[in-house]
Structure 1
Amino acid sequence: MNAVVPAVRTGPTIWVLVFAGIVTTLMSTLVIPLLVDLPELLGTSPANASWVVTVTLLSGAVATPVTGRLGDMYGARRILLLCTVPLILGSFLCAMSSSLAPMLVGRALQGAGFGIVPLGISALRSLVSPERLGSAIALMSSSLGIGGALGLPVAAIVAQTTSWRMLFWGVGILSVVMAILIAWVVRDTPANEHRGKFDGFGAFGLSVALVCLLLAVSKGGDWGWTAGLTLTLLAVSIVVLLGWGRWELRADSPLVDLRVAMGNRVLVTNIVTILIGFSMYFQALLVPQIRVLPESTGYGLGQSMIVMGLWCAPAGLLMMVISPLGARLTTARGPRTTLCTGCLMMAAAYGSSLFMMGSTWGLLVITCCIAAGIGLAYGAIPTLLMGAVPLTEVSSANSVNTLLRSLGSTVSAAVAGVVLAQMSIMFAGNTIPTENGFLVGMLIGGAAALLAALATVAIRGAQPGGTETPVPGIAAQSPADASSRSAVTGPGTASAR
């Protein structure tokens, strides 16, 4: 049985966890306004300065599945509080940095706190009253996009009106507030009494595989896609990942239960997640560039960083508004329908770039419609996962899913970089992407969203009207998935459900 908090505390719990998710995801866009100036600020080369972004990605990739598993073992609230520690320390260290090395350490510490969003979703599953669970999960999941969308204008304004250090001091203070609120408002979540041992070897193997893969994908454009280092890292990641999978299948307490992960609902939902992460990053990368390019190019809008950020902010706010509506759609029609609807909205918005990309208002419509689609999709994904995994694996399942979103975005950045590099011209002594380059990138994002929508058809499971749904808005697994998991996890897990 799930522990449910008294109704009077349900609202504060939801908003504290959503606030935590937004603060955490501010990290993803925090340094974007600083990228051009970082080499001078830190006394290093542009190539070295790019590690300020890369190291956070690598640290988050390593920490997220680990904290997810720890959340399942010891309770989400404990690990949530643990994740705030590196966020706080990393933010303050970055604020005091004047060279590359301490900045990289600080950014790595910030990345170690990225598991807060999936842990927050897991906590909601135990703490929030059933009638509010669907909308709460949708809002918490969408905080990934909300924080990223709002972070850009806030960071741009702060960076251009005050010292760049205020960005990190501000986030550090917000992280302290977040930790206090979690400790004060969020109640303890149940730990797994039969948690077994932590799979340290599995965590190490997955970390090595992910670091090698993400390094190759994120730095391949700089090193060369056929360079020896890039190919070696890709080969090592594949070999280690295969060995890791073999280990996990034999482990008594695996970091990730691959048999559960290969069930239809989990597997297809994770594939759709990668495609959504791949799709959404194209507009996040391309639209800001179109807005700041000079008007003399014929397609740039000539906006300052602050103005560009303000035009991007409505998308984040819309995502917050659309999430509860998505929860209602999920309750009425099922999470698969909500997920498919969100993907189709994204595909249609990207397709409209063919005739709306050339104006400020046209770009606003495109980004807002994409944001609405992301809000629907992100809200439905945790619902699908939690209806398909044992209660003892909710944090782990959501953490792996969050990691896959980041993987999709990383691959998207690499693909977009190749497309724009191949379709560029010289302008005023600088190499800039052509209008067709931006359009092709937007259409690739739309194609990925459409493919994600088509993939949702393969998700099997109960829809509204069935008797398997244990909580409003949370669809249960299909009978086939349930029986296969029962055979794997044994009757103890089934009775827990």
Structure 2
Amino acid sequence: MTRTVTDPHTRRPGGGGIVPVLAFAGIVVAVMQTLLVPVIKDLPELLGTSPGNATWVMTSTLLAGAVATPIMGRLGDLYGKRRMLISSLAVMVVGSLIAGFTSELLVMIVGRALQGFAMGAIPLGIGLMRDELPLEKLGSAMALMSSSIGVGGGLALPVAALVAQHADWHALFFASAGLGVLSIVLTLLFVPESPMRAAGTFDYAGALGLSAGLVLFLLPITKGSDWGWTSGTTLGLFGAAAVVLLLWGAMELRIKAPLVDLRTTARPAVLFTNLASIMVGVAFYAVSLVLPQLLQLPASTGYGLGQSMVVAGLCVAPLGLTMMFTAPVYARLSAKYGPKVTLMIGLLVIAIGYGAGLGLMSAAWQTVVIAVVLGAGIGLAYSSLPALIIGAVPASETGAANGLNTLMRSIGTSVSSAVIGMVLANTADQVGGVAVPTMHGFRVSFLIATGAVLAGLVFAAFLPGRRAAAATAKPHLVASSEDAPVAAAGSAGGPADRAGFRGRVLSADGVPVARAKVTLIDRRGRQAGATLSSADGAYALAVPGEGAYVLAVTAADGYGPLASGASHPGGVRVLEVDLAVPGAEVLA
């Protein structure tokens, strides 16, 4: 799978408003997810239904988001990431308006499901950043986008609680719709469409199969505590999910343009990143479930902190805010040590936070400390995940690969919700006929989260180091023995007189790189041409015809290798493609 280059430069020299606008879109998505948290316990009364039915209002958003995330990522790769980002936000606005004008259960479920489609904005935003930003800005920008989920949740929780206490709860949906419209307008004004396109067509059968498998898998996870974990319905759905996903995987391996490239997903750099993502999702959601309940339990229990809904939201808000402030810290750590090490540092900080939390539950200020430490760790971990994925997949698969990674995080939060919900329910005390969570249940939940973090550390340890990743990330790019001779840049037969690629080989700082070998590789892995860059970094290569190619660069000492996908439409057109090679210290 390759990308089509239609712009003179593969990366734009500046970022302009791209980063804040895309980060704002991520925050809007988080607000959409969080806005009903303060009124969850009141939903049965507000909707005139049973508690079991009311949970579908939250479950529908989760299921729709899980289905939409990888699909929107793939659609963005094929038809334009900005276009799909705007589409995701537009569907969310429609869902918000539907939910805002109803108190009927079924209509509310439909509105909330449409809101869930906004989850695709996260991988689409990360993909746009990769395509549009210069390399020196990319790390911190992706970190900010990745942590925007926590930022939005942290900011939205106290605000939503305040609205729920003093206004009609439907105002939450209208506010969500307004934020969605604002995000769409800002995206149209400040975010250009990416020129990168993947080859192939959309895999409708794959999308249907993955959607069915995800729904069958996530449904019993979210409803298992209501149905019973050993009930026929729960076990039957898990079994059906396994069958459907296995059949889906077999089908995806056979088609030329799959929705998810499972061969790429099976690479260690991608596979272990996704497994670690599940564990980070478990750890992230555990604190979101425990701290608000601990803060709002009455002091008469002997361990509850007796705070209002708004104060509880303010105490948990530092979790998201700290995630935002770790973005520049992540960029510095990752530049020096790499995203693998940064991920492991983040996981260690999370483990410290949960370990300290076991003894810091007796005052509101202590929960703030827990939130800050966990926010720092989760921010570092979340920021590392898209960088690891992007470093392991071709540019044309950025949206789909990050969509799958975002899905893994969602699966982690779903598993966390189910497991910790079950623990809190099974350890609860009955007080006046009402089940009240116990301190023992809170501590067991923290221990489960710590175990998930330790499992994430094990998965992260299996990730390739930077030098190994650079050598193995694109095994399909190895040229055959039928090598073409190396020509000087701009020699006869180059793109000066027929179709091809030309541009400059540059360092990450924009300095021309002379005598770098630029090799043209066709889709069959054969070398179709090679040249050396001139003193000003210029190179030129002719193409034998239209199709997908890879431009592989091997530079002198001090620079790392680079492989960049490009697609040529044929004819006599010459495409400008600048190639930015990383410094050797980045691969150390």
Secondary structure of the corresponding residue to residue 362 of structure 1: helix
What does residue 408 of structure 1 align with? 412
* Gaps in structure 1 of 5+ consecutive residues: 464-475
CA displacement at 1:144 relative to structure 2: 1.5
**2: CA distance, partners of 1:206 / 1:225:** 23
* Residues 316 and 367, structure 2, Cα contact 8 Å, conserved in 1: no
Return the alpha-carbon distance in structure 2 between the equivalents of residues 114 and 445 of structure 1.
24
Find out whether 1:150 has 2:143 as its counterpart. Answer: no
**Shift of residue 379 of structure 1?**
0.8
Q: 1:490 to 1:157 in 2, by over 3 A?
A: farther
Deviations 1:223-262 (A, max 9, x none): 0011111111101100000000000000110000000000
Displacement of 1:462 in angstroms is: 1.6
Larger fraction in helix: 1
**Where do residues 235-254 of structure 1 align in structure 2 (5 Å cutoff)?**
235-254=239-258
| Percent identity over paired residues | 47
- State whether residues 342 and 373 of structure 1, in contact with CA within 8 Å, keep that contact through their aligned partners in structure 2: yes
Aligned: 1:118 with 2:123: yes
2:216 aligns with 212
Q: 1:490 to 1:286 in 2, by over 3 A?
A: farther
2:338 matches 1:324: no
Give the Cα separation in 1 of the matches to 2:396 and 2:428: 50
- For residues 46 and 417 of structure 2, what CA distance do their matches in structure 1 show? 25
Contact 1:74 1:190 survives alignment (8 Å): no
Please give the alpha-carbon distance, in whole angstroms, between the structure 2 residues aligned to 1:256 and 1:113: 20
Q: What's 2:572 paired with?
A: none
Q: CA deviation at 1:152?
A: 1.2
Matches of 1:19 and 1:336, distance apart in 2: 27
C-alpha deviations, 1:117-159, integer Å up to 9, x for none? 1100000001112221110010001012111222211110111
In the superposition, the TM-score normalised over structure 2's length comes to 0.80
Instruction: Name the SS for the 1:172 alignment partner.
Output: helix
- Give the secondary-structure state (helix, strand or coil) at the position aligned to 1:426: strand
Distance change >3 Å, CA 489–CA 421, structure 1 → 2: farther
Q: Which moved more, 1:140-149 or 1:248-257?
A: 140-149
User: Which residue of 2 is the match for residue 471 of structure 1?
Assistant: none
Shift of 1:314: 1.8
- Secondary structure (helix, strand or coil) at the match of 1:355 reads coil
Does 2:436 correspond to 1:432? yes
Q: Which residue, 6, 10, 14 being the options, matches 1:3?
A: 10
Q: 1:355 aligns with which of 351, 354, 359?
A: 359
1:490 and 1:345 map into 2 onto residues whose CA distance is 45
1:361 offset after TM fit, Å?
1.6
Q: Which runs of 5+ in 2 are unaligned?
A: 480-521, 526-547, 552-563, 566-588
Map 1:30-429 onto structure 2 (within 5 A).
30-192=35-197, 195-429=199-433
- Which sits farther off after the overlay, 98-107 or 209-218? 98-107
**Aligned partners of 2:365 and 2:451: how far apart in 1?**
23
Write the distance in 1 (CA, Å) between the matches of 2:406 and 2:524.
27
Residues of 2 paired with 1:449 and 1:164: CA distance?
A: 36
1:494 offset after TM fit, Å? 4.0
Listed one character per residue, the Cα deviations across residues 449-491 of structure 1 (whole Å, up to 9, x for unaligned) are 122123211101325xxxxxxxxxxxx8342343267699753
Shift of 1:341: 0.4
Q: 1:161 to 1:486 in 2, by over 3 A?
A: farther
What's the offset of the Cα at 1:446? 1.2
SS in 1 for 2:358: helix
Distance across 2 between alignment mates of 1:249 and 1:493: 22
Paired residue type of 1:52: V
CA distance 1:19–1:239, shift in 2 (3 Å): same
SS of match in other structure, 2:362: coil
* Among 456, 466, 482, the residue aligned to 2:474: 482
How far the C-alpha of 1:424 sits from its partner, in A, is 1.5
Mean Cα deviation higher: 357-366 or 481-490: 481-490
Structure 2 residue identity aligned to 1:382: P
Shift of 1:6: 4.3
Structure with the bigger percentage of strand: 2
1:385 shift after superposition: 0.6
Contact persistence 2:269–2:464 (CA under 8 A):
yes
Of structures 1 and 2, the one scoring higher in RCO (CA 8 A, sep 6+) is 1
Q: How far 1:323 sits from its partner (Å)?
A: 1.2
Q: Which of 235-244 and 348-357 deviates more?
A: 348-357
Change (3 A) 1:254 1:362: same
RMSD: 1.7
Output the TM-score relative to the length of structure 1: 0.94
CA displacement 1:395-417 (0-9 Å, x = unmatched): 00100000110101101111102
Q: Which amino acid aligns with 1:119?
A: L
Partner of 2:575: none
**Structure 2 CA distance for aligned equivalents of residues 85 and 312 of structure 1:** 30
Mapped to 2, the partners of 1:412 and 1:213 lie a distance apart of: 14
SS in 2 for 1:197: coil
Q: How many residues align?
A: 482
Alignment partners' CA distance in 1, 2:250 and 2:350: 37
**Residue type of the alignment partner of 2:169:** W
- Report how far residue 493 of structure 1 moved: 5.9
The alpha-carbon deviation at position 35 of structure 1 amounts to 1.5
Task: Classify 1:289/1:350 alpha carbon distance in 2 versus 1 (closer, same or farther; 3 Å).
Answer: same
Kindly provide the CA deviation profile for residues 289-325 of structure 1, in whole angstroms up to 9, marking residues without a partner as x. Answer: 0000010111110111011001111221111111111
What is the distance in 2 between the residues matched to 1:245 and 1:397?
A: 15
The one-letter code sitting in structure 1 at the alignment partner of 2:303 is Y
CA deviation after TM superposition for structure 1 residue 37, in Å: 2.0
Which secondary structure does the structure 1 equivalent of 2:150 belong to?
Answer: helix
